[in-house]
Amino acid sequence: MAYYYKKRYLQQNISINLLLIIANVALFIIFSILLYVNEKAIDFIALKPANIFYDGYLWTFLTSMFMHGNVWHLLVNMLTLMFIGGLVEKIIGYKRYFLFYMISGIFAGVFFVLLSLIFPADFNAYAVGASGAVFGLIGLLMIMTPNLPVYIMFIPIPIKMKYAAPGILIVLWMISVAADIPIGNTAHLGGLIAGLAYGVYLREKYKNKMRYIREYFS
C-alpha cells in the first residue's frame, strides 16, 4: 500500500519538462564529445535532407532534436522551454505534453526535409535543436491562451501570445535572411503549424475547458 501511494505521488509530481531539459543538456554534451572525436559523426546526429533521401538516416529526425549548434543555441532553447514548456505541461498534463513535444519536433523535421525540395539551399544543410518542438508549444499556446501577455527577446513590454508567436517567427526569418544565417526557419514553421493544429483539435474537442483556459490566462 505504501509503495502504491509513493508511486502515485511520483507520477503526479514528476516534471516531464524538466526531464526533457536534462535530456537536451546531457545529449548535447555526449554528441559534442562524439563530434570532437570524429567530425563525420554529424551525419549520424544532425538532420540533413540529403541524408534522408539518399541514405535513409531516419533516426536523425529524433537525434537532431537533442543536439544544438553551440552552448548559446542550447541556452536560448532551454530557457524558452523552461518557461513555455512548464506552462503547457500544467495545462494539458505530462503524458499528453510529452507526446505532443516529440510529435511536434519530429513533424518540424519532416516539414524541413520536404520543403528542402522547394528550397534547394536547405537540401544539404544540417538542422539541429529543440526549436521545432518549442515552436510547437508556442503554436499551441497561441490557440489555448491567445491573450496571454509574454515578453519576447529584448522588448520591455508584454505582447499577447497571438501576436508574439508569428512575430518571433518573422523576426527570426528576417535575421536569417539579412545575416545569411542558417536558422532553420522552415522547421520553426513546421513546429508552429503542428502546435496550431493540435490547439484547434483541443479547442474543438474540449470547448468548455479551452474556453475557461482562454479566459483564465487573458
Q: So what's the pLDDT on residue 96?
A: 94
pLDDT value, residue 4: 39
**What are 157-216's pLDDT values in tens digits?**
778 888 887 777 777 766 655 555 566 788 999 999 999 999 999 999 999 998 989 888
pLDDT of 10 reads 44
Tens digit of pLDDT for each residue in 99-158?
Answer: 999 999 999 999 999 999 998 888 999 999 999 999 999 999 999 999 888 776 656 677
Respond yes or no: is residue 131 known to be catalytic: yes
**Non-local CB neighbours of 97 within 8 Å, separated by 6+ positions:** 16, 17, 85, 88, 89
Q: Give per-residue pLDDT as tens, 23-35.
A: 999 999 999 999 9
The one catalytic residue in 116, 131, 176, 218 is: 131
The model's pLDDT over 36-82, given as tens digits with 9 standing for 90+, comes to 999 999 999 999 999 999 999 999 999 999 999 999 999 989 998 99
What pLDDT is recorded for position 182?
A: 60
For 19, 71, 130, 135, 164, the CA distances from 100, given in Å and listed in that order, are 15, 25, 13, 12, 21
Q: Where does the chain have alpha helices with state H?
A: 2-13, 16-37, 49-55, 60-63, 71-80, 86-92, 94-115, 131-144, 161-179, 185-205, 207-216
Active-site entry in 32, 116, 188, 218: 188
What domains lie within the chain, and their CATH numbers? 2-216 (1.20.1540.10)
73 part of the active site:
no
Average pLDDT over residues 78-105: 94
Helix (H) or strand (E) holding 87: helix 86-92
